[in-house]
Homo-oligomer: A and B are copies of this chain.
Amino acid sequence: MELIVYLAGEIHSNWRQEIKEKAQALQLPVKFVGPMENHERSDHIGEEILGTQPNAIFKDEAASKINNLRTTVLMQKADLVIALFGEKYKQWNTAMDASTAVALNKPLILIRPEALHHPLKELSNKANVTVETVNQALKVLSYIFEEENK
């Protein structure tokens, strides 16, 4: 029984690579999906496919349509969502994806630095588990598959 896990959150560090490698090392039967991680490509995909837009706002709108389509298709396939907040940026997409997971009854693991506990307190409470490191999230993921009597 394979699980599909959506990895929401920042695309400026290589945390997805870390989690994929560790899951593979543990031979967890997991398929990871997520948003476009190439930040440049994510910002320009609207104009690339739909052509030049009148201004920056319309360029953003064009890109967001295609990013949201991708995200929606993949999250609907997911059995579980892991969302990571970093120290920097607004990260409203992370909050959006994490909240969407909760509203769709998809279990959520939230990774955030302790320093962000106050502004994230309501979202953290909605998550199933909140941890501080990728490694802790992996341990939670791994725990789902542990069996006494195989």
Q: Which residues on A are within 8 Å of B, measured CB to CB? A: 1, 3-4, 14, 16-17, 20, 31, 33, 36-38, 41, 45, 48-50, 54-58, 60-61, 63-74, 76-77, 79-80, 89-93, 95-100, 102-105, 107, 109, 114, 116-126, 128-129, 131, 136, 139-140, 143-144, 146-149
User: Of B1, B91, B143, which one neighbours A70 at CB under 8 angstroms?
Assistant: B143
Nearest 5 CB-CB pairs, A to B?
A103-B103, A95-B95, A54-B54, A99-B99, A64-B125
Give the residues in chain B near A37, CB-CB below 8 Å. Answer: 147-149
In the complex, A45 Cα to B144 Cα: how many Å?
Answer: 12
**Interface on chain A toward B: helix, strand, loop, or mixed SS?**
helix
Q: Identify 4 new A-B residue pairs, CB closer than 8 A, beyond the known A37-B149, A45-B143.
A: A48-B139, A65-B128, A69-B109, A69-B128
A-B pairs with beta carbons under 8 Å apart, 10 shown:
A14-B149, A17-B149, A49-B139, A60-B117, A60-B124, A61-B125, A68-B122, A69-B144, A92-B95, A100-B102
Is the pair A80, B70 in contact by a Cβ cutoff of 8 Å? Answer: no
Given contacts A1-B4, A103-B99, contact A125 B65 (CB under 8 A): yes
Decide if B49 touches A121 in the complex (CB within 8 Å).
Answer: no
Contacts of A144 in B (CB 8 A): 69-70, 73-74
Q: Which residues of B are found within 8 Å of A104, using beta-carbon distances?
A: 103
Using Cβ atoms and an 8 Å threshold, which residues of chain B touch A126? Answer: 68, 96
